[in-house]
Amino acid sequence: MNRVLRVDDLHVSFDTYAGEVKAVRGVTFDVSEGEVLAIVGESGCGKSVTAQTIMKLNPMPPARIARGEIHLVDKDIVKATEKEMMSIRGKDVSMIFQDPMTCLNPTMTVGKQLTEAIRHHQKLSKDDAHKEALRLLNLVKIPNPEQRSRQYPHEFSGGMRQRVMIAMALSCAPKLLIADEPTTALDVTIQAQIMDLLQEIKEKTNTAIILITHDLGVVASMADRVAVMYAGKIVEIGAAEDIFYRSAHPYTRALLRSLPTTDMDRSVRLVSIAGTPPDLLNPPVGCGFASRCDNCMKICHAELPSQFEVGQNHLSACWLHHEDCPSAKNGGEK
């Protein structure tokens, strides 16, 4: 598979009156065509900032790319000017946002919004752009596309508005599709329909997808690989099967323990993660999860762990995997 995106040692900060917020602290990953990479983690861990930085949607300032590289196919995103990004967005990379009502223009019909994006990038005639818009509405399974294209966003349900957003994201056949919590504002039944639609589109178009979510159930049904983020860093990354059945990082294991299962005994209580994520105005010197980890050792507070290989293409940033580490059962101190 051809690699579509490569993010290498990405650092993103926000300069605020209170100081520098280090929202993303050395993130590295890649995505190939036809692959779904899910990025999961608690709110505030840096998922959306990472995704928006790929498209340079964070206002700069206050945001800035402090360090790192982003290569989208043959384009250097970090060095790209705003004029260059205008041609890259939509054509090479598109995003599906979590609240479609705030992203669609309430004063324009759905069809007009679709044709506007198509004509901007593909230079089609008005009639050809309209035909393409109808094809996309049909692709995302909106019934009566001709009639619906003349309606306004408020005349659509939440699920239908999200389908329109997916159609807009696909309008220029992007190589990378970023879905930023696309099912957050939808009920469970519609969530399943949207995820099935994304899966079907991926199989038809071979588009690479980055799925940003905190819903591990959604991840299990769709992702090929999973990156677990915490405090602005990827703490574990690997195949979805490895993350769910052979998870290695204490944070990943804690997330999985907090999930209910269909065969769970009623007497069993879900496990919550004690404490709160660190303040990224003053990020910890060592592991960001150290203050909440049951297996914390002295070195965890003093030094940042590197990523250790715990399986084939399975990496975990935890000192427990170091060859000199004592068993976590023996007091957990070093």
Listing DSSP states for 83-127 in one string gives HHHHHHBTTTEEEE-S-HHHHS-TTS-HHHHHHHHHHHHH---HH
Closest by alpha carbon to 78, among 90, 92, 68, 93?
A: 68
CA neighbours within 13 Å on the CB side: how many for 143?
2
- The answer to whether 273 and 254 have CB atoms below 8 angstroms apart is yes
Per-residue tokens: 84? 């260059």
pLDDT tens string, the chain, 334 residues long: the values are 688 999 999 999 999 999 999 999 999 999 999 899 999 988 888 898 999 999 999 888 899 999 999 999 888 999 989 988 888 888 889 888 877 667 788 889 989 988 887 887 777 888 888 898 898 888 888 889 899 999 898 888 888 888 888 888 888 788 899 988 877 766 777 777 778 888 888 888 888 999 998 778 778 888 899 999 999 999 999 999 999 999 999 999 988 888 776 666 666 677 778 888 888 999 999 999 988 888 888 899 999 998 999 888 999 999 998 887 765 444 344 4
Do 184 and 99 meet the contact criterion of CB atoms below 8 Å apart? yes
Instruction: Indicate the helix (H) or strand (E) that contains 199.
Output: helix 188-205
